Amino acid sequence: MKQFTVKTGARSEMTDITDRVRDVLRESEIKSGICYVFTPHTTAAITINENADPDVPRDIIMEMDKVIPLNDNYRHIEGNSAAHIKASLIGASEMVFIEDGKLVLGTWQSIFFCEFDGPRTRKVLVKWTP
Ligand code: ZN
């Protein structure tokens, strides 16, 4: 298993981490298998979505904010319930196939780290299996 950090700059943002994951796999020299990308945080998530138009991640964040408002008489005393809910809806991990030493992703797909309670420094874990 390998890990890297992502420094986020806003309360909510999506960071393309595909190249970071590729760097890890290149070092691993795995040719065929499965790659897992996981974030060990309760207010962040991992997802796969469009990398070409930066408005796609912006729209995702904008609509998530509408569905899960920042303040809504939540009981969680820390005050970041919206971030916890968003993290659970998107999920803490993604799985991607590896073939010929490369991630099998669609042309327009990237792996994104989703911050919902930033800015912070976050961890991403990458593990692979043949
Ligand atoms: Zn909390």
Q: Map out the domains of the chain as residue ranges.
A: 2-129
Q: Say which CATH topology domain 2-129 has.
A: Jelly Rolls (2.60.120)
Band of residue 89 on the pLDDT scale cut at 50, 70, 90: very high
pLDDT of residue 45: 98
Q: How far is the CA of 41 from the centre of ligand 1 (A)?
A: 10
41-69 mean pLDDT: 97
Q: How far is the CA of 87 from the centre of ligand 1 (A)?
A: 11
Q: How far is the CA of 39 from the centre of ligand 1 (A)?
A: 16
Q: Contact, 103 vs 21, CB < 8 A? A: yes
82-98 mean pLDDT: 98
pLDDT of residue 36: 98
Band of residue 66 on the pLDDT scale cut at 50, 70, 90: very high
DSSP helix/strand/coil, 77: coil
Q: How far is the CA of 44 from the centre of ligand 1 (A)?
A: 11
Q: Contact, 43 vs 118, CB < 8 A? A: no
Band of residue 24 on the pLDDT scale cut at 50, 70, 90: very high
Q: Could you tell me the CA-to-CA distances from 85 to 22, 45, 117 in Å, in that order?
A: 29, 11, 11
Band of residue 123 on the pLDDT scale cut at 50, 70, 90: very high
Q: Hey, what are 1's tokens?
A: 């298993």
pLDDT of residue 126: 98
Q: How far is the CA of 100 from the centre of ligand 1 (A)?
A: 41
pTM over 0.85: yes
DSSP code at position 31 = -
pLDDT of residue 98: 98
Q: How far is the CA of 67 from the centre of ligand 1 (A)?
A: 18
Q: Hey, what are 78's tokens?
A: 């820390």
Q: How far is the CA of 75 from the centre of ligand 1 (A)?
A: 10
Ion ligand 1, residue ranges at CB < 5 A:
78, 80
